[in-house]
Amino acid sequence: MDIHFFDSAPVPKEQVRIEELEVVVYPDRFRIFIHIRVSLFQERPNLLLVARAHDGQIAAELNVIETMHHDMEFTMHLRGRDDTAGQYALVAELFYDTRNPPQDRREQSFAVPPETGDT
């Protein structure tokens, strides 16, 4: 008897890709919720997530080394600014032995709205 837990089979590392990248800004405007899903894998990949402001300054960074999960959620804190309002880009890179170049890369733009003054 075969028991299947997933709709598809794990793939070799050469075929692993970022399948989904989602960014949601928390109401406090200083944190972002990240949802990232990668292919089911046979060998555990590494991920680098970097959020940059429109001026190129790094606002948040997260390294995930040999993840055990293919579907992940994180909270990142936007740093280095008193007012976080503005345009940002979150770049996710998936890699194994080297990041140069990464095996897969995904970018998601997002905006932090201005403070409303209702606090």
Question: What does the chain come to in residues?
Answer: 119
Separation CA 18–CA 106 (nearest Å): 7
Q: Give the single-character DSSP code of 11.
A: B
CATH fold group of domain 13-111: Immunoglobulin-like (2.60.40)
Query: Which tokens go with 76?
Result: 């990142």
Q: Are 110 and 88 in contact (CB under 8 A)?
A: yes
What does the alpha-carbon distance between residue 93 and residue 20 come to, in Å, rounded to a whole number?
Answer: 12
pLDDT digits (tens, 9 = 90+) for 37-90: 999 999 999 999 999 999 999 999 999 999 999 999 999 999 998 999 999 999
pLDDT at site 29: 97
pLDDT digits (tens, 9 = 90+) for 25-36: 999 999 999 999
Bond into 113 cis (ω within 30): no
Q: Is the pLDDT of residue 2 over 70?
A: no
Residue 8 has pLDDT above 70, yes or no: yes
pLDDT higher than threshold 80 for residue 119:
no
> Would you list the domain boundaries of the chain?
13-111
Dihedral of alpha carbons 74, 111, 21, 78, sign: negative
